[in-house]
Structure 1
Amino acid sequence: MSHPDDLLARAWAEREEVLYPRLLGALGPGLYPLDAAVFSTVFGQDSVDPRWLTIGVFECPPTPDRPGWAYVSSGLSNPWDDTEADPDSVSGLGMEFLLQTTERAPWALALVQRFCAYQLLLAAGRMGDHAPLDLWDRMRIGTPIDNADSQLQALVFVAAEHLGDIQTLASGQFRFLQMLPLTLEEHAFGQQHDFETVVEQLQAQNAAPVVDTRRGSIPLQPPA
């Protein structure tokens, strides 16, 4: 039987040295790992699994094929306890977060880090009965997304279809859970109708998947 560290190292290297560069290009200056302070300050959790602090976020600059900046987590799909390679299984939590912005954005890096911490706590059962975040989950965040004056004050989590629905590592499969900021009006429209319509119309207006925090609400039409 293989040692779990062998599979972990293989999957980790495959994700960061092969898959991410192929999909996103250069990964920037390196991984920005989670800090214990995000767990204690934001979520009131002083006890932290040391493995969580190896998970972080890459800040990927624009490429000729990908406009804007990409903030992508790395480590949520780590197969910490698996020992045998199985490309058809789920690797780790089965997901990584992705947020794309028109400009370099420190707020985006911090936001993805914060949601990584939240997802880890959800998966560990530290946040009550709430399940880990998944496709089409949405929320108001109670403040401008950029901590300044943006009208974007809500989020919906969608598939990063432009990168492919399912990604495969030696340890199994995962998908990108794309964080798409919305205005409160767009969020309310999605609640009244459906969020698939919101995303489709934002994409048609070039307001998704790359986020411009300076934009206002996009006029949305109810589905036929």
Structure 2
Amino acid sequence: MSKKGKKKEESSPEPGDDWEDWQSVVARRDLLISAWRARDELYKNLFGEPTSVTPSNYRPPPAIPSGKAKTRSPNELATDTADPGLEDQRLAIIAYGPDPVRPYWTYITAGISSPWLQGQPEEVSGFGCELMIKSPIEAQWPAQILRSMAFYLFNHAGTLSPGARIALNAPIAVNSESKLRNLVIWYADEAPDCWYQLPSGGFGVFTAIGITDDELKFAESIDEYGTWCIQQVLRQVGTGQVTNPDRESAMQNENIASITNSVTTFARQFKASSSSFEIS
């Protein structure tokens, strides 16, 4: 009976196409990790320490051990990506409780701007934004809305920018009678620079604001300045960028005629002055 020989160990990739593939995988993962850390530091500077995070295992994507290349076959290298493969880590919702500066709950995504498919820095990181919702009380619906918007972007390879209006076709809070059935996207007051840089590229911090059907109708009547106008109306009636599912429509305010007239007049004057401005 012959003596069984030892199994030949798989060698690590040698310089060449396979080695270049592996280097690309490692570079993408390193970029993903550095972007995660930079965004986390930015959030701490803007919002402070979070009150809660979902999922609870929120942390940087794991680095690829330097010795892992020795266990990779050429076929595996050809199909590998920088994605750490942790589905629940691709998007987190971070919650910040009220404080003297922000007397409301703030919920923001972390993951839409991650450079999942990038091998090097680009002008825009990931899908180019992170989204926020502000609520007067701690609630579950903000995270549900944010996840729905994020997964829509992931699945359709799109993005959202200030000015966008979104019909939810249902109350903003599930199983409620809320009259807020739409969203508008605008620049977040808490992120004054609007556009921020990660090692992988830039991204915007935008807020989603719930509005009623008649508020949406008003916004749609003001051409390209409609989203700005309805936001100014909400500010003047005391709602601002905070979304309260239980509120009544701003269009029912007793002073709404003078408020909308003032806002639309300003918008039209601004549009007229902008269109007549010429650079010499």
**TM-score between both structures, scaled by the size of structure 2:** 0.65
Cα offset, 1:29, TM superposition: 2.6
Does the alignment pair 1:82 with 2:121?
Answer: no
Structure 1 unmatched ranges of 5 or more: 34-48, 124-130
Partner of 1:44: none
Deviations along 1:108-163, one digit per CA (max 9) or x if unpaired, are 1111111111111110xxxxxxx533322212212211121221111111121441
Cα distance in structure 1, aligned partners of 2:100 and 2:197: 25
Partner of 2:250: 218
- Aligned to 2:184, what secondary structure does the other structure show? strand
Cα distance in structure 1, aligned partners of 2:179 and 2:103: 22
- Aligned to 2:154, what secondary structure does the other structure show? helix
Please tell me whether the aligned partners of residues 181 and 213 of structure 2 are also in contact (alpha carbons under 8 angstroms).
yes
Please tell me whether the aligned partners of residues 39 and 198 of structure 2 are also in contact (alpha carbons under 8 angstroms).
yes
What percentage of aligned pairs have identical amino acids?
25
Please tell me whether the aligned partners of residues 231 and 240 of structure 2 are also in contact (alpha carbons under 8 angstroms).
yes
Equivalent residue letter for 2:167: R
Cα distance in structure 2, aligned partners of 1:158 and 1:61: 21
Does the alignment pair 1:185 with 2:214?
Answer: yes
Higher-Rg member (1/2): 2
Does the alignment pair 1:61 with 2:61?
Answer: no
Structure 2 unmatched ranges of 5 or more: 1-22, 57-82, 266-280
User: Which structure dedicates a bigger proportion of its chain to strand?
Assistant: 1
Does the alignment pair 1:31 with 2:54?
Answer: yes
Deviations along 1:76-103, one digit per CA (max 9) or x if unpaired, are 11112334446xx211111011111110
Between 1 and 2, higher relative CO (CA 8 Å, sep ≥ 6) is seen in 1
Give every structure 1 segment of 4 or more consecutive aligned residues whose post-TM-superposition deviation is greater than 6 Å: none
Instruction: Indicate the RMSD between aligned Cα atoms, in angstroms.
Output: 2.1
Aligned pairs for 1:20-169 within 5 A: 20-32=43-55, 50=85, 53=88, 54-85=90-121, 89-123=123-157, 131-147=158-174, 148-164=176-192, 165-169=194-198
How many residue pairs get aligned? The number is: 199
Out of 188, 201, 210, which is 1:172 matched to? Answer: 201
Cα offset, 1:28, TM superposition: 2.3
- Aligned to 1:20, what secondary structure does the other structure show? helix
Task: Indicate how the Cα distance of structure 1 residues 78 and 26 shifts in structure 2: closer, same or farther if over 3 A, else same.
Answer: same
- Aligned to 1:82, what secondary structure does the other structure show? coil
Equivalent residue letter for 1:156: V
Cα offset, 1:52, TM superposition: 5.5
Please tell me whether the aligned partners of residues 27 and 58 of structure 1 are also in contact (alpha carbons under 8 angstroms).
yes
Cα offset, 1:107, TM superposition: 1.0
Aligned pairs for 1:198-209 within 5 A: 198-209=230-241
